[in-house]
Amino acid sequence: MRFRALLVAASLLTAFTASAAVAPDARLAGAYKFNEGGWTYVHLEGTPEHVGFQHGYLLAREIEDNILVYKVEAPQHAKHKWSFFRDAAKNVLWPHLDAEYQQELTGIAAGLKAHGSHLDLWDVVALNGYIELSDYYVPWLDDKKNATTANEPKAPGKCSAFIATGSATKGGKIVIAHNNWSSYAEGERWTVVFDIVPASGQHILMDGMPGGITSQDDFGVNASGLMITETTLPMIKGFDVHGIAEFDRSRKAMQYATSIDEYAAIMRKGNNGGYANSWLIGDRKTGEIAYLELGLKNTPLTKKKDGYFVSSNFAADPALIRDDTLGFDPGNAESTMNARHIRAEQFMKEHYGELDTALAEAYLSDHYDTYEHKIDAGKRSLCGHEETSPVGEKVWDNPPFDPGGAVTGKVMDSDLAAKMSFIGRAGHPCGEDFIAAPFLAAHPEFAWQKPILHDMKAGPWTTFTANEKSPAAMAQN
């Protein structure tokens, strides 16, 4: 009897140990993810530490894959190894971050570790700050050192967008649209829908990349009805090492702002000049829209309740052009920024009074080249295909046939914003696929990208909503 009792006790102990080993981590409570339409939908909730842990754990493999892209790109584009960005993340960005986001970033690193990853906190912070470090801090640092190989600031080439309201739109609703431009290696992975319910602040629905605490290409909506996007300002100069990182401020504004003025105030406070953008902001509660050009020295804000704003990496304010850019020329019709600005204005005028989400999708898919005066899916079309350009984009220092362009499309109107919902397409908004193998065979000069350049196939236009469950889970219910 004693022997049998010992056997039973041993088996119970074994069962208990096994169940304890697979017991879910309490920090993952409420979190989940699923794939749909070429996107990964991730629901995160709780304290900053929990939101971060859920993010790092659920997307561990995707974050590792994403960071590999920047490790490969950094020596080519910024002339620095990944170790440089880790050090800058620790010494330049980290000391000025809000405690809440330090906790969330630390949580991401903890989630990665719990999933078996060797990435650490400084990898995560460097990923979040890569754009502002590579395109703003590095040129500032080179200039300070009088480096002979200084990297002049170049517009990173991100985005075509518009926002419209009142008489410009069908039914007077706010309509907002945005396509993200990046290298295809980055953009093929920039396909996460983040549904975040933080312990403080507001519920957020935004697109983004694995490992980023903010959208980075900045399209989203919050529970107060703010509808937000941006495009990068061109040829911006200057960086304040004592300022607050852009990825901190943009996340904070999305999470806490309840009005256009509050959003602008958060973005302006502690502005470090990094990742300088033209922000398009709409408030579905009032029908008002705004255009915030956030340079380092000049940050003009324009608001209206009737009409539209277009944005395509185009600087509009004369003082900002004078003080904050390296001589941006709005009259250079050959450049992508100006050509897309012209086409955007044409599109708005052609469809004034009719703009809705369907026309927003058409805007993001448009291939008309105003410089060549013909349909040409290339570097100057609203839906960018830089890999077709035999001249490249000199203003961005992009070489001929550079594999990059529009990598996602997102649209939303006031009705969707009221439900915390938007429509997105992974891949080229026009629906064309990019296939890596034949491209690399035709352009061996980009062979260095082979470890990271994958096929980028366009998915369907797909609607995403806050608190959405996976199609499989909904079918079971």
Range of the domain at 380: 28-467
pLDDT given at position 423 = 98
Q: For position 167, what pLDDT does the model report?
A: 98
Distance CA 177, CA 241 (A): 33
The pLDDT value given to residue 395? 82
Q: Give a yes or no: residue 344 inside a domain.
A: yes
What pTM, to 2 d.p., does this model score?
A: 0.93
Instruction: Flag whether pLDDT at 189 surpasses 60.
Output: yes
The total number of residues written for the chain in this structure: 477
Q: 12 lies in a domain?
A: no
* Predicted pLDDT of residue 179: 98
Please check whether residue 18 lies inside any domain of the structure: no
- Give domain status of residue 23, yes or no: no
Measured in degrees and rounded to the nearest 5, phi and psi for residue 424 equal -130, 150
pLDDT single digits (tens) 237-261 = 999 999 999 999 999 999 999 999 9
User: pLDDT tens digit string along 317-346?
Assistant: 999 999 999 999 999 999 999 999 999 999
Average pLDDT over residues 423-447: 98
CATH number of 426's domain: 3.60.60.30
- Examine residue 83 and state whether it is found in any structural domain, yes or no: yes
In the chain, the percentage of residues whose pLDDT exceeds 70 is 92
Terminal C-alpha separation, the chain: 48
Give the separation between CA 59 and CA 383, rounded to whole angstroms: 29
> In this structure, which amino acid lies at residue 311?
S
Q: Is residue 238 part of a domain?
A: yes
Say whether pLDDT at 4 is over 70: no
The average pLDDT across 100-124 equals: 98
CB atoms within 10 A of CB 152: 11
Q: Whole-number mean pLDDT of the chain?
A: 93
Give pLDDT, residue 12: 41
Kindly report, residue by residue over 199-243, the tens digit of the pLDDT: 999 999 999 999 999 999 999 999 999 999 999 999 999 999 999
Classify residue 2: in a domain, yes or no.
no
Whether 254 is in a domain gets the answer: yes
What's the total number of domains in the chain?
A: 1
CA–CA distances in Å: residue 155 to residues 80, 104, 178, 196: 18, 29, 17, 30
pLDDT in tens, 256-313: 999 999 999 999 999 999 999 999 999 999 999 999 999 999 999 999 999 999 999 9
Question: How many beta carbons lie within 10 A of that of residue 148, not counting itself?
Answer: 6
